[in-house]
């Protein structure tokens, strides 16, 4: 089962296309009645920090697991200092599925000291249909589900994306270089779905949810394909992580973000939020993207957050940003989200509501 390497359209195995024009999708997104009845006070909605800026090894090459609690405290303390109360712990930073019970306890102690909660854990770039590593990755994901329970994580975020290639790692923005692509094969599609059912059943037994991250070049790489794949899995504790940033950054023609949002947000149970600026000149075949703050990129998150909540979203947000001081940009994105939630909520304090 060889992985193709090409740009970038999602494999179509099992996909049913449901085209929605941009203007029609935009009208749907704008049709949300305000204010919204929120499940939390705005300030209590879980908004976590990603750890993209924190490598999995120290300066001398020591893996983060071996570096120990003092180093974990330094990294997590930096996140807490930016105002975050939640964090996603990714396997790329700390492989909790491989850790001992004592190490889990040490991590929980660090989290208590920094006053951070875990909104999710994630298994990063370990696809359960990888042509060489599928069996190991499946076993690692089962361990990660048990570890999520041990450290108090309510959800594990998974995906079908593979490790970056050497060519991708050699450039500034890895998404500008074609990466691994899941095969356009109905048999592989069904195999992937069956393995996710296996993982979902395990997760359900221990009280953990699973979220599948949208990612270019995979069965989760287009809105229609992602929804069809989720339906193929057919488990109530599995939802989508509608990380539209992963799709709008592709340097090619894309489906309108409005249409992708309308299709995927009703299935969301966790949400990586980031934005990109995008320049297009289709007649010249020119498509260029660069990371941007949530407030100023292509995607209008004011509309998306309102539409998602109106359609039942109750999960955590996870702020990500590539480039520059990504953690500070993520902290600004957190404040932006809090502002949006406060303006949408029918739970405003009495003094404010009377103005």
How many domains does the chain divide into? Answer: 1
Pairing of strands 47-49, 286-292: unpaired
- Whether the full predicted model's pTM is greater than 0.85, yes or no, is yes
Helix or strand holding residue 120 (H, E): strand 117-122
Residue 353 maps to a domain: no
Crossing angle, helix 257-264 and helix 22-29, to 10 degrees?
Answer: 50
CATH number at residue 236: 3.20.20.150
CA distance 241 to 210: 9
354 domain-assigned: no
Assess if residue 14 is contained within a domain.
Answer: yes
In 3-state terms the chain splits into helix, strand, coil percentages (rounded to 5) of: 45, 15, 40
Helices (H), the chain: 22-29, 64-67, 69-81, 101-114, 134-151, 166-169, 186-206, 223-233, 245-248, 257-264, 301-310, 326-344, 350-353
- So what's the pLDDT on residue 2? 36
Using CA of residue 1, residue 3, residue 257, residue 322, what is the dihedral sign? positive
Residue 78: per-residue pLDDT = 98
pLDDT of residue 12: 57
How many CA atoms within 13 Å lie on the side-chain side of 56?
9
The DSSP secondary-structure symbol of 336 reads H
Strand-pair partners of 211? 157, 239
Cα separations (Å) of 199 from 103, 143, 156? 24, 10, 10
CB atoms within 10 A of CB 311: 13
Q: Which residue segment(s) compose the domain that 54 sits in?
A: 4-348
What pLDDT does 13 receive? 66
Instruction: Give the per-residue pLDDT at 11.
Output: 57
**How high is the pLDDT of residue 18?**
82
Question: Does 174 fall in a domain?
Answer: yes
Tell me if 283 is assigned to some domain.
yes
Task: Give CA–CA dist 223/239, Å, rounded.
Answer: 13
Asked if residue 355 belongs to a domain, the reply is: no
Within-domain flag for 24: yes
10-residue mean pLDDT profile of the chain (355 residues): values are 43 70 97 94 96 96 98 98 98 98 98 98 96 96 98 98 95 94 95 98 98 97 97 98 97 96 98 97 95 97 98 98 96 98 76 36
């Amino acid at each position: 089962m060889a992985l193709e390497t090409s740009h970038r359209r999602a494999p179509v195995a099992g996909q049913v296309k449901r085209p929605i024009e941009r203007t029609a999708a935009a009208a749907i997104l704008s049709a949300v009645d305000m204010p919204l009845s929120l499940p939390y006070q705005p300030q209590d909605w879980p908004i976590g920090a990603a750890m993209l800026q924190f490598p999995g090894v120290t300066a001398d090459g020591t893996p983060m697991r071996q570096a120990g609690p003092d180093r974990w405290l330094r990294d997590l303390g930096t996140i807490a200092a930016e105002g975050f109360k939640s964090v996603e712990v990714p396997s790329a930073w700390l492989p909790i599925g491989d850790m001992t019970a004592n190490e889990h306890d040490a991590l929980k102690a660090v989290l208590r000291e920094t006053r951070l909660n875990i909104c999710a854990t994630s298994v990063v770039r370990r696809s359960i249909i990888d042509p060489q590593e599928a069996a190991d990755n499946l076993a690692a994901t089962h361990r990660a589900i048990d570890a999520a329970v041990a450290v108090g994580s309510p959800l594990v975020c998974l995906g079908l994306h593979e490790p970056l290639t050497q060519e991708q790692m050699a450039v500034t923005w890895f998404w500008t270089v074609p990466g691994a692509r899941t095969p356009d094969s109905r048999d592989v599609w069904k195999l992937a779905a069956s393995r996710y059912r296996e993982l979902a059943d395990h997760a359900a037994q221990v009280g953990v949810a699973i979220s599948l991250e949208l990612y270019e070049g995979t069965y989760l790489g287009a809105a229609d394909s992602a929804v069809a794949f989720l339906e193929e899995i057919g488990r109530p504790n599995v939802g989508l992580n509608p990380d539209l940033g992963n799709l709008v950054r592709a340097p090619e023609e894309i489906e309108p973000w409005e249409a992708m949002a309308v299709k995927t947000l009703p299935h969301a149970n966790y949400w990586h939020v980031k934005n990109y600026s995008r320049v297009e000149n289709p007649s010249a075949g020119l498509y260029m993207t660069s990371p941007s703050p949530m407030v100023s990129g292509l995607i209008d998150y004011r509309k998306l957050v309102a539409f998602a909540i109106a359609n039942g979203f109750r999960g955590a947000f996870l702020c990500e940003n590539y480039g520059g001081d990504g953690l500070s940009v993520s902290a600004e994105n957190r404040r932006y989200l809090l502002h949006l939630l406060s303006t949408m909520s029918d739970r405003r304090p009495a003094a404010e509501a009377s103005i």
